[in-house]
Structure 1
Amino acid sequence: MATIEKYQTSRGETRYMVRYRKPDHTSTKKRGFTRKKDAQEWLAKHAVIDIRQGTYTDPTLSRTTIGQIHEQWTQERTPYWKPSSLERRNDTWRLYLQDSLEHLEISRLTTQYAQQLISRIAATYSRSTTEACIVTLRGITRTAIRDHLIPNDPMTGIHPPKNTTDRRHRYITVPQLLSLADAAARGNRLTDPQRNRDIILLLGFCGLRWGELAGLRVEDIDLTANRIHIRHNAHQMNDGTWVDGTPKGGKPRSVPMPRIVADTLKRRVENLQPNDLVFPSPSGGYLRTVNRKAGGWWRGAFNRAGLDSMPAHDLRHTAASIAVHAGANVKALQRMLGHANASMTLDVYADLFDSDLDMVAANINRAITVAESGET
């Protein structure tokens, strides 16, 4: 039930007020109409049609700021996020979105405003940063829609810009990888001269992420089945502390070991306890990632091997290349690398499967030749 009432302002002016019930049956009102007709039209749209169609938004709550909704969204999702994911999402808000959106009322966030903001971010920062900002904004707007703060999602149709750069990865060959591993051992001044060689072999042949290597424990290595079970992912937080989380995507996986890696790990773990880290830091904690731009053993190994330095993560690409040339299909590569699905693997490593197209054409040509010759 709804009513329209006349009232007088403090200045003696006549105004009209709409009283109505919200979908939760609580009573509310909308004041300030100068004409009764305006009040009737507002009532018909906002308190009748929108309620029936399920697009009703509370006029008072629509003034909620985006900063308030972001805080609510974060609190609701925190139990489902790993500490590293929570930190990354908080950093995305703090570094790229907070200044522009914290005090903006959610009802004032239009698609045009959101697109302009995302375009500015895309023009300055990487595609991954832009995608992270879009994910955060979508989480905020979907929370607002769920709570009836806005009727429609202003993030609909907003996507990161197309990646126009060359997406081909840099790969090194098996001989180059072996040469790099030997060069790493020759330059290591630590008490364990083989550690750096073993790290390069593991990254280059098995495709582990650095956090997975740092979190690898003796009990994760199955020398009987020649498998590495990826169950841990070490991550250093902004405050310098480490967390032992799950692998990316939250799912453990098993990775096959070629003989050279199995022999290497067998030698490394033979005197360790099941829960010991395979590659601890010199102080006994988690091993920090290497910096290819700074000096140190990583860059020195590439220099001695006569190769241009690359990030540690790029050896994961080399592992993918070696696996494909050894006959791995897309599904096997997906499982090895821990991608969410095979389409993601194919998108990332499409260039590795270019030769498959040539093979298809060759097989078709061969079938045509057989058919034309009358052979069976």
Structure 2
Amino acid sequence: MAVTDLWVKRDGTPSKRYGVGLRYRVSLPGHPSQAFRVKAAAKAHEAKLLTQGPTKPAAETSVGELLPKWLAGKGYLSPGAHSVVVAGAARVRDRWGGVMVDQVFSHEVQEWISGITVERDGERVPASRDTMSKTLGALRGTLDIAVTLGLIDSNPCVGVKLKRAERRDARFLSVKEVRTLAGKADGDGRPMVWLLATTGVRVGECCRLDVGDIDAKRRRLRVRKSKNGEARDVPIPASVLAMLDLSREKGSPLFASKLGKRVEVRNWRRRVFAPAAEAAGFTDLHVHDLRHTAASLMIRSGATPKDVQKALGHKSASMTLDLYAGWWDDALDGVSNRMEKLLD
């Protein structure tokens, strides 16, 4: 019998505990015993445990067993975001996969996350704060499941600190500098550099473009799924449009490798962009700087904050202003000059 009356013996006579403490105890294999004051509460708890089945002891449940459950809940992410999550989960699996959930301690997590490195240009370098955050999030989410299942009382990742983000000033290239950079790029690198520097699409979005995403008549490209999950149309300058090979089937990748496969972000950055930037003499130039460059060129061409927001795919115009307000400040000089002409 799972529910035992601690106050009464089997023969119906009062026990030594009669009238002292909680009266009804629930005992089921695979679950810790628990006592209740009233029988109804004990019976309800018994029914709940019978429905759940025996709980696996914490000492027999590893982080690696729960990690796939956490990953399964990330299917809604965009391909790019999901790949980042998978990379973070892989780091967790490498370090904690075989560790039982009740053997993960905060001080060890802190030491591990502070020492994470990534491979860059053939050598190991300290990971960025964003990489650390995504990796810690994978472990924290997995251990949240362990807490929900009652395998551990609290999440040891709570309170673990990350290093401060190193803010880097955005770099804006002039048209002449973009021309120099594109001229140093091999193969399809030239038109891709120009497309990135004039439309502001993210490099991941650019690599996912198909020939059919380009509307030559309207001079627009269609980003079907962006970082925030929304599609958008982006204008393309006619000179850049002329660089694109649109004679192939609509389902073909807009930018392909020499083997005809879709260009992969990491490979393009390492094999095309980095060598071109070095050859052009642009130290510490990032691919994302081409997106900043596109924004500056749009503003110099007279685009409003709303225009730039739509082209870049920002959630709000305020975000666009926070990033590029200085460029509109410079543009105000032109406004005052044009107004002065009206007053003459």
TM over 0.5: yes
User: 1:254 maps to what in 2?
Assistant: 233
Is 1:102 the counterpart of 2:98 in the alignment? yes
Matched, 1:352 2:316: no
The amino acid across from 1:118 in the alignment is I
Gap change, CA 1:144 and 1:223, over 3 Å in 2: same
Number of the residue aligned with 1:92: 88
Name the residue aligned to 1:372. Answer: none
Percentage of identical aligned residues:
25
Q: Aligned in 2, Cα 1:129/1:152: closer, same or farther, shift over 3 Å?
A: same
Q: Is the 8 A contact 1:180 1:302 kept in 2?
A: no
Q: Aligned partner of 1:278: which letter?
A: L
Stretches of structure 1 that go unaligned for 5 or more consecutive residues are: 6-17, 32-38, 232-245, 361-376
Could you tell me whether the CA contact under 8 Å between 1:323 and 1:333 is conserved in 2?
yes
**Per-residue deviation at 1:119?**
3.5
Write out aligned runs for 1:332-351 (5 A).
332-339=307-314, 341-342=315-316, 345=319, 350=322
AA at the equivalent of 1:261: V
> Cα distance, 1:316 vs. partner?
2.1
Counterpart of 2:258 in structure 1: which amino acid? P
The code of the aligned residue for 1:338 comes to: G
Q: Does 1:210 align with 2:216?
A: no
Residue in structure 1 matched with residue 252 of structure 2 by the alignment:
276
Output the CA distance in 1 between the equivalents of 2:274 and 2:327. Answer: 32
Partners of 1:94 and 1:101 in 2: CA distance? 9
| Residues 267-289 of structure 1: per-residue CA shift (max 9 Å, x gap) | x32x3333233333233221355
Residue of structure 1 equivalent to 2:336:
none
| 1:228 to partner: Cα distance | 0.7
Instruction: Name the CA shift for 1:293/1:250 in 2 (closer, same or farther; >3 Å).
Output: closer
CA distance in 1, matches of 2:284, 2:104: 45
Match of 2:173 in 1: 172
Query: Matched residue of 1:200: which SS?
Result: helix
Partner of 1:15: none
- 1:133 to partner: Cα distance: 1.4
Offset of residue 318 of structure 1: 1.7
- Equivalence for 1:141: 143
Deviations 1:302-332 (A, max 9, x none): 63x5544734343223223323444555554
The 2-side partners of 1:198 and 1:136 are apart by: 37
1:208-357 counterparts in 2 under 5 A? 208-231=201-224, 246-265=225-244, 268-269=245-246, 271-289=247-265, 299-300=275-276, 303=279, 307-308=282-283, 310-328=285-303, 332-339=307-314, 341-342=315-316, 345=319, 350=322, 352-354=324-326
How far the C-alpha of 1:29 sits from its partner, in A, is 5.3
1:13-49, CA deviations, whole angstroms, 9 ceiling, x for partnerless residues?
xxxxx9427xxxx776547xxxxxxx97xx79xxx9x
Mapped partners of 2:178, 2:311: distance in 1:
19
Amino acid aligned to 2:73: R
Match of 1:367 in 2: none
**CA distance in structure 2 between the aligned counterparts of 1:167 and 1:204, rounded to whole angstroms:** 19
How far off is 1:143 after superposition?
A: 2.0
1-structure distance, mates of 2:322, 2:285:
21
- For the residue of structure 2 that corresponds to 1:317, the secondary structure is helix
Do 2:92 and 2:138's aligned partners in 1 also have CA atoms closer than 8 Å?
A: no
Residue identity opposite 2:62 in structure 1: T
**Mapping of residues 58-137 of structure 1, within 5 Å:** 61-63=57-59, 64-74=61-71, 76-77=72-73, 79-80=75-76, 88-96=84-92, 98-100=94-96, 102-106=98-102, 108-109=103-104, 111=106, 113-121=108-116, 124-137=126-139
**Letter aligned with residue 87 of structure 2:** D
Amino acid at match of 1:202: L
Q: 1:135 to 1:105 in 2, by over 3 A?
A: closer
Q: Secondary structure at the match of 2:133?
A: helix
Pair 159,318 (structure 1): closer, same or farther in 2 beyond 3 Å = farther
Q: How far 1:204 sits from its partner (Å)?
A: 0.6
**In the TM superposition, what whole-angstrom CA distance separates every residue of 1:123-173 from its partner, at most 9, and x where no partner exists?**
94221221111220232133223333344444445453321x342122211
Contact 2:101 2:151 in 1 (8 A): no
Q: How many residues align?
A: 297
Which residue is equivalent to 1:369? none
RMSD of equivalent CA atoms: 4.5
2:339 corresponds in structure 1 to: none
Q: CA deviation at 1:202?
A: 0.4
**1:194-232 deviation line (CA, Å, top 9, x unaligned):** x4432221011112333433332222112333321012x
Secondary structure of the residue that 2:217 maps to in structure 1? Answer: coil
| SS of residue paired to 1:161 | coil
Whether contact under 8 Å (1:3, 1:20) holds in the other structure is: no
Partner Cα separation in structure 1 for residue 211 and residue 181 of structure 2: 25
DSSP-derived class of the 2:73 partner: helix
Question: Which residue identity lines up with residue 198 of structure 2 in the other structure?
Answer: F
